[in-house]
Structure 1
């Protein structure tokens, strides 16, 4: 479909073409605001819209009161920044940002500091541990699923010159004795 001629003065019966989410629309004035773009395309007023700018420049955020000149040489293309969905312990959340930090996940999901946070990875690979300072990319295909679980503590204790594994934060004297002499009480 051939775009209509642009009227560089914004007057007369000519219309200006613009693309919103890949669909072509017509506008009779030289300038259009972000709110008018949303109304024209029947979009929610709280959605986030960007103006596609050719490389090497970055796309521009178009606020509701931002005016965009439609009479520039090319057809202006606008797109919505879709909210990215993810879950934390089965509860759904949304983000406008592609990346989210582990500490934000911990805060949103109200995850206690004594629990670990993992990004669910489809098998046969292991789930990915998320530290508080790590970033999770929410724009990968599909919905990211994050879950928490009790932190596993594993310590190596040397008793009588032998490495012994203990999986708790605290150890009592009776536990040390049991570890030291465990092999003496086990049947061969």
Structure 2
């Protein structure tokens, strides 16, 4: 097997990312991941491997106990049976996902159908499949006629529920008050300097730049709390921040 540091290895994902054609001859570097979307890098010589070849290369045996999906650049998954072939030179095929399971589950994310090879899926994986920034978006199970259900990053949602689930990735949009002015933030956690920039966008960290930051009505309660450089604050709707420059002279 050709080593990954061999200059002759064609990195399929890098080629797709750069928008260039994957070369006609191998060896090729591919990525094979699991249900946590954690990947291992592998090298394969055949430009048109079977699902069996990919599973065996990843050391997943017995092959009959696994489902293999090929992942396209847009995040869509397509089942690849052991006897089927896939052309690594085809634009858009970047990675593979393997699941130790005997059936797949279908759901919709942002109105796009998706098949998944495990009974459970994390909120973080749903965000990755939706192609959104996990720190700036949340995923909800859409429940017609009721409040949608938040799926946290670490939640493992059971896809074996009756019916086909519909999920939506929604940008975080929380109303807070900064120096009494209403402001919308798009993250569940903000650093000291991110809060400072809500009031003073031009502020630059440095020895002469110092601000006193306090907040109230957060998850800690209504009492006034200090936020200092190096800390994060958990954002809650309706929080009040006070950001004032401090004279260090």
The TM-score bracket by the shorter chain reads 0.3 to 0.5
Whichever of the two has the greater Rg, that structure is: 1
TM-score calculated relative to the size of structure 2: 0.33
TM-score calculated relative to the size of structure 1: 0.42
